[in-house]
Amino acid sequence: MAMDINDKHRLKNRLLKAGHLIALFIAMCIICVPGLWVVVNSFRPTVEIMAKPPVWIPTEFNLDHYRAMFGAVGEGGIPVVRYFTNSLIISVTSTLIALLVGMAGGYAFARYRFKGKAAIFVGMMLTRAVPGIALSLPLFIVFARVGIIDTHFGLILAYVAMNVPFTIWLIDGFFRQVPKELAEAAEIDGCTRWQAFWKVEFPVAKAGIASAGIFAFLTSWNEYALASQLTRSVNSKTMPVGLLDFTSEFTLNWGGMSALAVVMIIPALILTFIVQKHLIAGLTFGGVKG
Amino acid sequence: MANVKLKNVVKNYGSLEVVHGINLDVDHNEFVVFVGPSGCGKSTTLRMIAGLEKISGGEISIGDRVVNELPPRARNISMVFQNYALYPHMTVRENLGFTLRIAKKPQSEIDQAVAEASAILSLDPYLDRRPGELSGGQRQRVAMGRAIVRHPDIFLFDEPLSNLDAKLRAQMRVEIKKLHQKVQTTIIYVTHDQVEAMTLADRIVIMRDGYIEQQGTPLEVFEKPVNTFVATFIGSPPMNLLHGRADNSGKNITLDDGVNVAMPSRLAGKYADKDIIFGFRADNIMPVGHTLPQGDESVEIDMTVTLTEPLGAETLLFGEIGGTQVQAKMLNPRIVKPGEKLTFQIDLEKCHVFDAQSEMVLD
Ligand SMILES: Nc1ncnc2c1ncn2[C@@H]1O[C@H](COP(=O)(O)OP(=O)(O)OP(=O)(O)O)[C@@H](O)[C@H]1O
Ligand SMILES: [Mg+2]
């Protein structure tokens, strides 16, 4: 009898596990298929992309779209390298600034008591409630007056403003998890306040700060609404805006768009991967008990 | 030389005063223990000495320097925190050597100091682990090691053993005492465990609500408590306290339920017609036939046993006198059933009499 019951449970567990795996597979398919479709399309001839009914299994792979994209203007080429460097400069700079401000602000919120703390915090969160696109016209007018339309500086400024409330909020949460006794122990061990921060609190919260960094970077890297208003030429156009170069009055160059999208996705993937491997993997807790 | 002097030290948080003008002298090489109930300001006082908390009034000096405004790093102290506060991103070795690295000492010196501390606390097998991979007791030892490496003038401990289980706590208590003998440094130690205080201290400082109630050697505070608070806080089980009244000759006390006992002879006639609290420890009330050799003065009193707690060599007996619970001890115990009525002897010489109003001792 006992065996029967055990067998029954074993069978039930196996079925449950299989069910989980199948559900997971379906969910992953739904999440991944659009991305995969973009990648696949970037290697397929336009005819096949446009075919009706769709060709599910690609029959021919080539690099035509990439060749064209990197090729001369007029033959379907666009200034990919310029767009890429613009994107990189703007995203990296705005991320670094947002992280620095976020660390300063997050630390202050986590560690110090000051007047109006709660109100400032709520106010900052409220700025996140305003949709970026609603700001694009006022921003455009102000930027135009000041003369920073179509500059790296303009976009960096906009992205920093966009990311800072979020980085502060995230980093505040991570510093809160670092017991304040750690910094105190460091101070007693001979550190100045400043050293205690950099040698103890920062390394312990590093993983969290890095995740805030990834988030800020991806937001800037993929942002379209503001960038499309605040940039106009190769001086400052970022890749998401560059995608529009593939639309013309009567046609959409899907293959080219996919190729550029792949060029956009790859650095983001690499970055996320590196940061995750090096920082998140080393999540460091357990220095205190109680 | 590192004595510590606190002069009228006050701490407020906003309008709330939590430490009210504390005066204390800690001698060089002395082991002082702050003890008191939760929230009485022990940690706050310790943290003010460490420089982690600004003082709102008064003066703290270490050696012959006033340190009121000095940051912690300039005070040459070490502190062991209740939650250990080990650096989680460093190995044990790096944790131990951290203070010397900050001081930019040569690597050879760091290695030697770490090896020394690790030997004292038997940490060698764990040197390359992170704190997250250690047990509570091991973390505690690392925290102590980190404090030793610094060769401080003063060690500060804030309830370092309260996260450990009873056995480990007893073991670490011995370690700490040994450590004190070995490193010969001033130690200020905070605990709310009176056993820890009694066993470790050269001098106990008993605090309540931001005031020092009494300070003295463990025996002094045990034998001569200045008020009922100290009397019940120090010693286990706590001192029995019975309300009563001294008669108009001052030679007899009538306890609340009408039982009469004599006033201890050293106090006889001094306090007539006065409401008092009569105090005696469980060690001084024992059933006839199961007592210590009695002093010259003793009284007998009948009490019904309501509960017993056998401890092996002795048994704790619970009963009531005048509606107040009383704990007594029985040596060479025999089995006692709840409900049994026994005659107890109270050793009057060891009894304490307190003023019922001020709760201060009468002598
Ligand atoms: N930052 C603060 N703001 C306001 N009051 C505080 C603050 N820190 C401590 N207190 C108060 O100061 C008093 C003393 O606190 P302290 O931490 O020194 O107690 P303690 O004796 O160490 O108690 P425990 O045994 O529980 O650790 C407490 O009543 C506490 O509420
Ligand atoms: Mg405390």
Return the best residue to mutate from B18, B34, B213 for the ligand 1 pocket (most ligand atoms within 8 A of CB): B18
Q: Do A191 and B73 touch (CB under 8 A)?
A: yes
CA distance A258 to A252: 11
pLDDT-derived band at B307 (thresholds 50, 70, 90) equals very high
For A207, the closest chain B residue by CA position comes to B89
Q: Which of A233, A70, A213 is CA-nearest to residue A155?
A: A233
Q: In CATH terms, is domain B4-228 a member of 3.40.50.300? A: yes
Name the pairing type of β-strands B186-191 and B154-158: parallel
CA distance B336 to B310: 10
In this prediction, residue A286 has a pLDDT band, given cuts at 50, 70 and 90, of very low
Helices and strands of chain B, counted as H and E runs: 8, 20
Residue A214, both tokens: 């990834």
Non-local CB neighbours of A222 within 8 Å, separated by 6+ positions: A240, A264, A268
CB contact under 8 A, A190 and B103: yes
**Candidate from B42, B158, B205 with most ligand 1 atoms within 8 A of CB, to mutate:** B42
- CB–CB of A287 and B99 under 8 A? no
Q: Is there a cis peptide before residue B237, judged by omega within 30 degrees of 0?
A: yes
Residue B151 phi, psi (nearest 5): 45, 60
Which residue, among A181, A182, A189, would best test binding to B if mutated, counting the most B CBs under 10 Å from its CB?
A: A189
- Determine the pLDDT at residue A187: 95
- Mean pLDDT is lowest, of A5-14, A66-75, B215-224, for A66-75
The pLDDT value given to residue A289: 41
The mean pLDDT of A270-286, rounded to a whole number, is 67
In this predicted structure, the answer to whether residue B73 has a pLDDT above a threshold of 80 is yes
Q: Please tell me which of the candidates A182, A192, A284 has its beta carbon nearest to residue B85.
A: A182
Predicted-complex ipTM score:
0.85
Q: Give per-residue pLDDT as tens, B132-141.
A: 899 888 998 9
Predicted pLDDT of residue A1: 59
Query: Is residue A220 helix, strand or coil?
Result: helix
CA B231 – CA B246 distance, rounded (Å): 20
- Mean pLDDT for the stretch of residues A25-54: 87
Q: Write down the pLDDT at residue A272.
A: 82
B229: closest CA among B55, B354, B81, B48? Answer: B354
Q: Note whether A186 contacts B77, CB cutoff 8 Å.
A: no
- DSSP reduced 3-state for B346: strand
Q: Distance (Å, rounded) from C-alpha A159 to C-alpha B107? A: 45
Largest CA distance in chain B: 78
Cβ neighbours around A72 below 10 Å, total:
8
CB A150 within 8 A of CB A143: no
pLDDT at A287: 47
* A284–B88 C-beta distance less than 8 A: yes
What is residue A72's predicted lDDT score, i.e. its pLDDT? Answer: 74
The size of chain B, in residues, is: 363
> Distance between alpha carbon A187 and the CA centroid of its chain, in Å?
36
Please indicate whether residue B47 or residue B267 has the higher confidence score (pLDDT).
B47
Pick the residue whose CA is nearest to atom 19 on ligand 1. B39
Helix, strand, coil tally for chain B in percent (to 5): 30, 35, 35
> Could you give the percent of chain B with pLDDT greater than 90?
66
Confidence of residue A234 (pLDDT cuts 50, 70, 90): confident
Which ligand sits closest to the CA of B53? Answer: 1
Average confidence (pLDDT) over B173-198: 90
Give the per-residue pLDDT at B1: 62
**Among candidate residues B221, B239, B186, the one with its CA nearest the CA of residue B79:** B186
Alpha helices (H) along chain A:
2-42, 46-50, 64-70, 80-111, 117-127, 132-146, 152-176, 180-188, 193-196, 202-222, 225-230, 239-242, 254-275
Does B83 contact A179 at a Cβ distance shorter than 8 Å? yes
**Any CB–CB contact under 8 A between A198 and chain B?**
no
Cβ atoms A202, A120 nearer than 8 A: no
Q: Does B320 touch chain A (CB under 8 A)?
A: no
B61, B25 Cβ separation under 8 angstroms: no
B73 touches chain A (CB under 8 A): yes
- Please list every residue in chain A whose beta carbon sits closer than 8 Å to the beta carbon of residue B72: 184, 187-188
CB within 8 Å of chain A, chain B residues 182-211: none
Please write the tens of the pLDDT for every residue from A155-196. Answer: 999 999 999 999 999 999 999 999 999 999 999 999 999 999
Q: In chain A, whose CA is at the least distance from the CA of B133?
A: A286
Q: Which CATH architecture has domain B240-355?
A: Beta Barrel (2.40)
Specify the pLDDT at position A17.
Answer: 95
Instruction: Find the radius of gyration of the CA atoms of chain B.
Output: 24
For B96-130, what is each residue's pLDDT tens digit?
999 999 999 999 999 999 999 998 888 999 999 99
Judged against a pLDDT cut of 60, whether residue A285 lies above it is answered with no
Q: What's the distance, Cα to Cα, between the start and end of chain A in Å?
A: 47
Pair of tokens at residue A204: 């312990």
At the topology level, CATH places domain A79-288 in MetI-like fold (1.10.3720)
pTM to 2 decimals? 0.82
pLDDT tens, B268-303?
888 888 899 999 999 999 998 888 877 778 888 889
pLDDT tens readout for residues A9-38:
999 999 999 999 999 999 998 888 888 888
Cβ of B43 below 6 Å from ligand 1 = yes
**A126 — contact with chain B (CB < 8 Å)?**
no
Between chain A and chain B, the number of residue pairs with CB atoms below 8 A apart is 94
Residue in A213, A218, A256 with CA at minimum distance from that of residue A87: A218
Strand intervals (E) in chain B = 4-13, 16-26, 31-35, 57-62, 65-66, 77-80, 154-158, 186-191, 203-208, 211-216, 240-246, 252-255, 260-262, 274-280, 285-287, 298-310, 314-321, 324-331, 341-347, 352-355
**Length of chain A as a residue count:** 290
Q: What is the mean pLDDT of residues B216-230?
A: 95
Interchain contact A111–B (C-beta under 8 A):
no
Question: Where do the domains of chain A lie?
Answer: 2-69, 79-288
Q: Is the pLDDT of residue A203 over 80?
A: yes
- Does residue B58 have a pLDDT over 70? yes
**Dihedral sign, Cα of residue A190, residue B131, residue B160, residue B14:** positive
Taking phi over 0 as left and psi of -120 to 50 as alpha, with beta for the rest, B36 belongs to left
